[in-house]
Structure 1
């Protein structure tokens, strides 16, 4: 994975908010009717509504998170559903911790 893309993804408060919301899909998106938010993911439209931003803006943020490997996007009919990739996020955090640690 390209670490510079991951760093860019984490450099936006809105993208961090998206990741925080997706960490608890049942809590934040339990009202989603089209698919189970935990099992299938959260509809991009609901993410845009949660952040009070336009669809094209949320699409760009989600694309950057997808490029970084932090989310997966699954299409069903006319909707796109997003889920966090916990393994990728944990690997990034472990890498970052290693990079920032002091070597005596």
Structure 2
């Protein structure tokens, strides 16, 4: 996949309020998911079930949003026992924001 196809997936990922909310919630996992007992939300990530609850959507709907964020590289997911946990991929988010700023900057040469 070329970089522009990757960027298209990333733009799709941030074009949805629920997916933006996931990224905002995962920015401060301790604040929003301190009630998670199965694993440390900062170190290990946040359980997908808790993310679905925070979004107020069914698990399959949350899974679809999370899958798009994973495809975009904005989150990573890992399984532990029967649960899956997600956390932000800060380096990839920073690279995307830098690219976006460069692409839409008024000083950009075409």
TM-score band w.r.t. shorter chain: over 0.9
CA-CA distance at 1:102 after TM superposition = 1.8
Aligned pair 1:15/2:25, yes or no? no
**In the alignment, does 2:83 pair up with 1:79?**
yes
Which string of whole-angstrom CA distances, capped at 9 and with x for unpartnered residues, describes residues 24-62 of structure 1? 000000000000000000000000001110000000000
After the TM superposition, which segments of 4 or more aligned residues of structure 1 sit over 4 Å from their partners?
none
Residue 37 of structure 2 corresponds to: 33
Aligned length: 104
After TM superposition, the score normalised by the length of structure 2 is: 0.92
Partner of residue 65, structure 1 = 69
TM normalised by structure 1 equals 0.97
RMSD: 0.9
For CA contacts below 8 A with separation 6 or more, give which structure has more relative contact order.
Answer: 1
Q: Distance in 2 between matches of 1:51 and 1:9?
A: 16
In structure 2, the residue corresponding to 1:73 is in which secondary structure? strand
Matches within 5 A, 1:83-98: 83-98=87-102
Structure 1 unmatched ranges of 5 or more: none
Q: Distance in 1 between matches of 2:14 and 2:95?
A: 14
For residues 12 and 56 of structure 2, what CA distance do their matches in structure 1 show? Answer: 22
